[in-house]
Structure 1
Amino acid sequence: MRRRSRLVGVLWRWHRRLGLLAAVFALVLASTGIVLNHSPELGLDRRFVDWPWLSRTYGDSSGEMPAVQLGARWLSRAANGRVYLDTLEVAPCNGRQVGAAQAGELLYVACAEELLVITADGQLLESLSAGSGLPMPLTGIGLIDGGVVLQADGTWWLADMDRMDFGGRAPGGAQISQLAAGRLPAAIRDGIPAPEQWLSWERLLLDVHSGRVFGHLGVLWMDVVGLLLATLALSGIAMWWLHRRRGSQRSP
């Protein structure tokens, strides 16, 4: 009986401490979830956030666009997250653009959380992310002997695009060819839609709800919060069950 009482006491203390920690995040999840549930009525997808500092938090800016020159063509990523080949819109790319490369007839655009494979005329062939085995977050892209290599966590990884294998380390001392970022020509820059209104309140609330507003670490933290809430639920059930058993044993 004493052992069970001590167990209930320990569970109660930890339940209370974890509950205080989780309360703030539970309120954030609940409030953003309720508002998002009424997003169509509130028109949140048509209302835009005009906070430049928040755009920079997303890795975007209304100023210069990150761009890489491949021969006579330019690859760039606008503040709305979409990649352009010159003025041709190709596809959205998740995370800031960290580089581009050309291997054979194919062009590769590396963003922090996604790798796009496109043709020379701007057709999207592949969109690869962590689910494809890609190392994350990407910080660079280059070529070794004509083959694509990707940089993540300070390490260069060989990209076998035929087998979709990204687990091989690049040989030490190998010469890696990288393209430097350049200044997008004004004629091309003017042909890309202005990015003033791209971050809607709906997207911002979705990213706060999921933790994506703080990047990859934010998503992991919200996973931890989910596990914390599950732990609170289980500890609450355990305390109720132990208390109920103790009460039934006291009854005549």
Structure 2
Amino acid sequence: MTNRKPKKFTAFLWHRRVGLFALVLVIILAITGIMLNHTEQFELDETYVNNSWLLNWYGIEPEDEPISFRVGEHIISSWHDQLFFDDVAITSLEQNIHGAIAGEQFIVVALDNVLILLTPDGELVEHVSTSISFSDIQRLGMKYKRPVIETSEPLYYMADEHILDWDVIANEDIKWTEEYPLTKNEKEKLLIAYRGNGLKLERVILDLHSGRIFGSYGVYLMDAAAIALLWLSLSGLWVWSSRRNKMRKKKHFQKHHRK
């Protein structure tokens, strides 16, 4: 029997294996690099991600539960410092929500000491501070189709038809708002709306380009791809040079050993 030694890995074989390993990362680097060079054209800074898997990966999910109120055919919700009209984000919030009603002219949303006025279609009209007239709003209700506020004293104030002046009234025949329990489908739509304003596509492309999207070791993975590219260049040059020298020796041998 003849003893056969195991074949050694040549630079060419390693060159091919490392090339296959680095191929995917190099493609990612190239595509994301081109996109980042044309951020404005691709509108990366204006586009929001709504893919559930990506949003879960980034941990973009509110910790608390939404507080919602039914207003006619629409739903007013407060969730993680944002106000929503159905599944559309309207404005940011710095105070707690205490109710929402449909008045004669506007939809009225009550916070701690601010009223937010919306059109019947959900467009923001203005923020009205109530700190001069009263504060510490506890509940929002309606009487004679006009907003009624309960404060912490407790005192009860009813607005005029233009929601400019308030009169103290007795706590009689007031229809108070109650929280509306969202259905599973309504909550899912609201979650999509919330997440839609939480993650820009530009950030995802940047993290993909740097490797941070893969976690704490992702940067080193991209560093490895860069090193692999450098090694591929040097080893490719070495393989080309070796083959060229072999071809020269072969031609030289054939030239001097012809019959």
So what's the TM-score if we normalise by structure 1?
0.48
So what's the TM-score if we normalise by structure 2?
0.47
